[in-house]
Amino acid sequence: MRVWFDMEDSFGLNVDMKSSATIGIGEAAARFGLATHVLRHWESVGLLTPARVAGDRRRYGPGDLFRVAVILRAREAGLSLDEIREMIVTRAASERREILRRRRAELLRRIEQARAALGVVECALGCDHDDVTGCAHFQQAVLDRIGAPAPLAEARRPMTDDR
C-alpha cells in the first residue's frame, strides 16, 4: 500500500533543479509566492525539515519543494496545518481517509451555509420594497428566527431613520 506522502518518491520529480542542488529559503518561498516566515512556521510545526548548512542557514532540496507543494495543495483543499501533519505522519490509509471525510463534511456544511446566505441576498435583491425590512418574506424570516408569535403591527413596520 502506498503512503500518502513519501519523501523518497519526491526526489524523482522534475522541479527545475539538479538532483543535488539546494536553494535558500528566500528562493524557495518566492518559487511558491510565499513569505519566508510561512516556511519557517511550517518548519516550527513539524511540516518541513530543510537541511541546515554553515551559519544555520536553511537549504531546500527537491524533496522539500515537493513537500511545500503538497502542503499548499492540502491547504487549497481546506485542511488545517494540524490535519496536514496528521496526513503526512500517518501510515494508515484509513486514518488519512477519515481526516478527508471530516474535511469533506465541514466543506459541505460551509457550502450549505453559503447557499443559504446567497438565498437571503437574492431574495432581498428581488424584493420590490425600497427597504427590505418592509418585505413580508423578510419579516416572516425574522419572526421565524425569533421563534415568537407575530409582534404588534408597529414592530413590523419598516425601519426608518426617524425611528
Predicted model pTM: 0.66
CB count in 10 Å sphere of residue 87? 19
SS (H, E, C) 59-116: EECHHHHHHHHHHHHHHHCCCCHHHHHHHHHCCCHHHHHHHHHHHHHHHHHHHHHHHH
Chunked in runs of 10, what are the mean pLDDT values of the chain (163 residues)? Answer: 43 46 95 97 96 91 96 95 93 94 95 94 87 84 80 54 52
Q: In the prediction, which pLDDT does 97 show?
A: 95
Question: Sign of dihedral through CA atoms 28, 65, 49, 21?
Answer: negative
Distance CA 45, CA 81 (A): 8
pLDDT of residue 155: 54
Predicted pLDDT of residue 127 = 86
